[in-house]
Amino acid sequence: MSSVSDTPLHHTPLHALHLRLGARLVPFAGYAMPVQYPAGVIAEHKQCREAAALFDVSHMGQLRLVGADAAAALETLVPVDVVDLGIGRQRYAFFTNASGGLLDDLMIVRPDAAARAAFGDLFLVVNAGCKDADLRHLQTNIGHRCAVVPMPERALLALQGPQAVDALARLNPAVAAMVFMSGGVFDLAGITCFVTRSGYTGEDGFEISVPAEHAVTLAEALLAQPEVKPAGLGARDTLRLEAGLCLYGHDIDETTSPVEAGLTWAIQKVRRPGGARAGGYPGAAAIEGHLGGGAPSKRVGLVGLERVPVREGTALFDAHGRKLGVVTSGTLAPTVNQPIAMAYLPVDHALPQHEVYAEVRGKRLPMRVTPMPFAPHHYKR
């Protein structure tokens, strides 16, 4: 969480609703955001795993790229296949820097012809803390090839959980036919929204871009459904950590390559060495070197063998007392019911079942390298 400064915090369009629902607000990426509601983080986490939880993610950046050249232009900034992205499909991507580090991660959707006037040839969602820098990065580097249009007039809601589809389908039955990583325009409670079947919890669910002036109406319509309760940033963090998903600025940043971060799956064959559109993005040489086996470290999952939470920043050591790295995210996981963490380890220590030791309050606690996700994903394929 960002520290309190003299800069006034931005409010999302749901700010008054959060106060009405009894949320505890904290500063996050320049916004006053709900960290939890009266039920508490663990109840909200379980709500998402068992039924449906509604998150306000309106602090995220939404923007559209407009122009026939948009996809090819965007490929000069990401090592991801954008040109071949199908209509109505969504893809995970990341901006890279000259050394192959990660500037931000983002979601890209190619709207269909009917949605293009409002949502562009490509519709992007970027992280809150990076959105101003991302906008400058896009405008500076590809603004001459396509229009880069920020969309601050829109809010973003995430409805997540196994019963999210039941709740949303009452507002529009057509959403039930969507599959994971698809997106399109849907009428919800009389409001034209752009909906993707995706999220950040490991559960089935939806992210809904809605005009800011209608955000409260839609949120109230969703909260009126019996399956749905509000959830804050606290539960969002424990859910995404159990799902093994990176948080920008913590598990990935400008010093980590996508290969070290375990995001190689997001670099399609066509953009890899030997592919038809290999390279041509910032840091391509460094990333291709890592793809060829040159990455010095790897992001791993860790499970604590003692019931003590191991938090971000905790130092990790080998059995001989040599420092190996630090924890990038950690919590006592409600679903898994044990301490879990993510960290970067040298590749020779990043092996399944390998033991490392976390230094917590002067004690060295054993942790075991384990595959991720810690809790299984439940996406609707």
Greatest CA separation for the chain: 63
At 2 the pLDDT is 43
Kindly report, residue by residue over 219-260, the tens digit of the pLDDT: 999 999 999 999 999 999 999 999 999 999 999 999 999 999
Instruction: State which fold the 15-51+153-242 domain adopts.
Output: Gyrase A; domain 2 (3.30.1360)
**pLDDT above 90 for 3:** no
**pLDDT above 70 for 4:** no
C-beta atoms surrounding 365 within 10 Å: 18
Distance CA 212, CA 297 (A): 42
CATH superfamily of 296-370: Aminomethyltransferase beta-barrel domains (2.40.30.110)
Cis peptide preceding 373, ω within 30 of 0: yes
Q: Rounded mean pLDDT of 79-83?
A: 98
Kindly report, residue by residue over 98-108, the tens digit of the pLDDT: 999 999 999 99
At 320 the pLDDT is 97
At 234 the pLDDT is 98
**pLDDT above 80 for 290:** yes
Instruction: Give the model's confidence band at 145: pLDDT under 50 very low, under 70 low, under 90 confident, else very high.
Output: very high
When mean pLDDT is compared across 4-18, 132-146, 343-357, 364-378, the lowest value belongs to 4-18
Handedness of CA 57, 59, 65, 70 (dihedral sign): negative
Helix (H, G, I), strand (E, B) or coil at 69: coil
Q: What is the DSSP string of 131-145?
A: HHHHHHHHHHHHTTT
C-beta atoms surrounding 155 within 10 Å: 26
| Domain boundaries, given as residue ranges, for the chain | 15-51+153-242, 296-370
Torsion on CA atoms 328, 332, 333, 339, rounded to nearest 10:
70
% of the chain surpassing 70 pLDDT:
98
**pLDDT above 90 for 208:** yes
Nearest in space to 324 (alpha carbons), one of 292, 290, 364, 286:
364
Instruction: Give the model's confidence band at 80: pLDDT under 50 very low, under 70 low, under 90 confident, else very high.
Output: very high
- The alpha helices in the chain, defined as continuous H runs, are 15-20, 41-50, 70-74, 116-119, 131-142, 164-171, 215-223, 233-242, 284-289
Distance CA 248, CA 297 (A): 18
Distance CA 359, CA 71 (A): 46
**pLDDT above 60 for 194:** yes
Nearest in space to 30 (alpha carbons), one of 60, 63, 62, 64:
60
Buried b (16+ CB within 10 A) or exposed e, 253-264: eeebbbbbbbbb
Buried b (16+ CB within 10 A) or exposed e, 61-92: bbbbbebeebbbbbbebbbbbbeebeebbbbe
**pLDDT above 60 for 1:** no
Instruction: Give the model's confidence band at 7: pLDDT under 50 very low, under 70 low, under 90 confident, else very high.
Output: confident
Instruction: Give the model's confidence band at 6: pLDDT under 50 very low, under 70 low, under 90 confident, else very high.
Output: low
